[in-house]
Amino acid sequence: MRRKFLLSVLGTDLVALGIAMLLGSALTFGELVPWQATRADQNVWPMLGLLTGGALLGSYASVRMWAQGAPRPSYGRALAIVAMTAAFTATGIAFGRPSYWSRTYLVTTIGIWLIGALLHRYVRRRRPWAEKLLIITAEKGLVEDLRDADHTEVLEVYDPAGEPPTEPTGEATLVADLRPVMSDRMAQFVSSWNLAGYPVRALSTVYEEYTGRLPMVHLTEGWELSAPVGRNEYAGFKRGIDIVLVLATSPLWLFLAACIWIAVRMDSPGAAIYRQKRIGLNSEEFTLYKFRTMVADAEKDGPQFASVNDTRLTKVGRFLRRFRADEIPQLWNVLKGDVSLVGPRPERPVFTDRFEASIPFYSYRHLVRPGVTGWAQVNFGYADNERDTVEKLTYDLYYVKHMSPWLDLSILGRSMWTVLSGFGAK
């Protein structure tokens, strides 16, 4: 069903692009077919090929950015696909130097295509894609999370040690919890369902796909050895990407940093840059730099969790946190190698020691380099108690297990939306 959905979206996007090419030609050249509007010595096909190639590349990148998650008719992904297509086409024209191209035609076509891509996603969102699930498990918490997830419809839940359904329940995916021992009749039902050609999937896999979290009750010591987290090829490649991106954007963030430094100093007494010890890769301690967002004596009563409506925030500090601008000095930490642009947020030693003693698997978040932003930040936000920390850890461990350039692109895209809009800050 997932594959069918993705192919349907891709096909509709390509149809929308084809229509945009025709309408763009009619508006720009007065001819519905673009190659009929050019002279014999002009070749319009390279320009059209770049548009098509860019659309396929953007669609592929978008699918990969879904990582293990469930596909959704997202407006943001439509914008990303169109933007990547425009960038690919512009780059191809700049370096390929085709015999003919039209700026007006390209802009018009891209604009019409964007409207079409957004429109068909609007229609899909009116009737959202959902997978029907029959779940065999005794873990009520995981079932409730799946009920609350987007694009799932939990039809029935069965006890692994109990009796199976007497009649098939329509077309659905059977989701089996493989940890508990099943009754003979339930095990026979699962086997028969699979032999009949109906889909059977593991509960842990389905849970990760639809929630973007790892089911803590399904983790056992050594789970991380099943996938070389933090030790794959991307881990080293990622470090180079971080340096290039930070250096390439340095004129912008250095200018913003200078303006913010002045604003912080004028707003309240105290240093503009706040230094704090954090725990990073392989549990090593380092100094993290941020713009100060709280009053100078914010921790006179000892270390405390930060919260969304923290009374210790200054006026400028509240603004900086809304747009995450207080984290700009961490780009220096990125250049030093203390943190990455994307990864689990580094925690303070006093809290790390407490959590490692009370929360199983907490230390596994240190298998990868911490980040300025991360999967937990864009999905959960602040954790101001131990219970929230456990919830946040399920997102961090999901990132540790599934770390990839596509997942990083997704996180950076959502973080950029927060920075530019101020909405969804967590």
- Per the CB < 8 A criterion, the answer to whether 260 and 320 are in contact is yes
Label the pairing between strands 371-373 and 340-342: parallel
Which positions of the chain have pLDDT values less than 70?
1-2, 40-41, 65-71, 128, 168-170, 218-232, 297-309, 421-426
State residue 239's pLDDT score.
92
pTM for this entry: 0.77
State residue 235's pLDDT score.
79
- 131-211: CATH topology: Rossmann fold (3.40.50)
State residue 230's pLDDT score.
47
Q: What is the rounded distance in angstroms from the CA atom of residue 143 to the CA atom of residue 123?
A: 29
State residue 421's pLDDT score.
63
Sequence spans of domains, the chain: 2-126, 131-211, 233-421
- Per the CB < 8 A criterion, the answer to whether 9 and 73 are in contact is yes
State residue 220's pLDDT score.
59
Q: Which residue has the tokens 């089911």?
A: 215
φ and ψ at residue 341, rounded to 5 degrees: -65, -35
What are the CB-based long-range contacts (under 8 Å, 24+) for 84-87? 84/54, 84/57, 84/58, 85/51, 85/54, 85/55, 85/57, 85/58, 85/110, 85/113, 86/54, 86/110, 87/54
